[in-house]
Amino acid sequence: MLDTQAPRSARRAVVPTGEERSFGTDELIVSKTDTRGVITYANDVFLRVSGYAMEQVLGQPHNLIRHPDMPKAVFALLWDTLAERQELFAYVNNLAADGAHYWVLAHITPSYGPDGSVVGYHSSRRRPSPAAVAQVAPLYDRLLAEERRHPNGKAAVAASTALLGELIAAQAESYEAFIWSVIGREEI
């Protein structure tokens, strides 16, 4: 029997290689998690692009594919939005099992049970346009620089979340409006 509940410390650390990977414009990366973000489903595109086998992802936290160069503020915004039972679109740089990275335009939504309670989350990801990534990457770099100025994760998230709010307010009325201003026609 497979032990899919390996503790985080037992998982090997993946080191980014700088190699970028992509996937087809007609493909969707799909995954589902429980309410804690533990993977309960991953489609074949998820597995191929991430370089993981099904038995390596089921039962693991979705942050298994989190790239260290992704600002924590974006994930704080994601969890805050999902806690409000709302959907979120976000550009995310993911980390594959072999250290390659791949950008996605993620659409994350709550999944509801028959009684209307949130039972998990569903994420569908498309390949973003290079122009969109070029717009988002400098914003993320600024957020990361802010996070690195702080001594601990909590302070880093608070500071980068505040900076994200300031930077977005200068460009759009909300994060959602900013993302929609970046999304290219070929992405929808």
Query: Which CATH number characterizes residue 47's domain?
Result: 3.30.450.20
pLDDT digits (tens, 9 = 90+) for 78-120: 999 999 999 999 999 999 999 999 999 999 999 999 999 999 9
169 falls within a domain: yes
The percent of residues above 90 in pLDDT, for the chain, comes to 88
Residue type, 57: V
**pLDDT exceeds 60 at position 9:** no
**pLDDT exceeds 80 at position 6:** no
131-156 mean pLDDT? 95
Average pLDDT of the chain, as a whole number: 92
63-90 mean pLDDT? 96
19 falls within a domain: no
Q: Which domain holds residue 165?
A: 28-187
Per-residue pLDDT, 118: 98
108 falls within a domain: yes
Q: Which of 79, 102, 76 is nearest to 91 (CA)?
A: 102
1 falls within a domain: no
42 falls within a domain: yes
179 falls within a domain: yes
**Number of domains composing the chain:** 1
Sequence-distant (6+) residues with CB within 8 A of 120 are 32, 33, 34, 35, 40, 110, 111
22 falls within a domain: no
pLDDT-derived band at 13 (thresholds 50, 70, 90) equals confident
- Residue 187 or residue 8, greater confidence: 187
18 falls within a domain: no
Neighbours of 138 (CB within 10 A): 10
Residue 49 has φ and ψ, to the nearest 5°, of -70, -40
User: What is the secondary structure of 37-65 as a DSSP string?
Assistant: SBEEEE-HHHHHHHT--HHHHTTSBGGGG
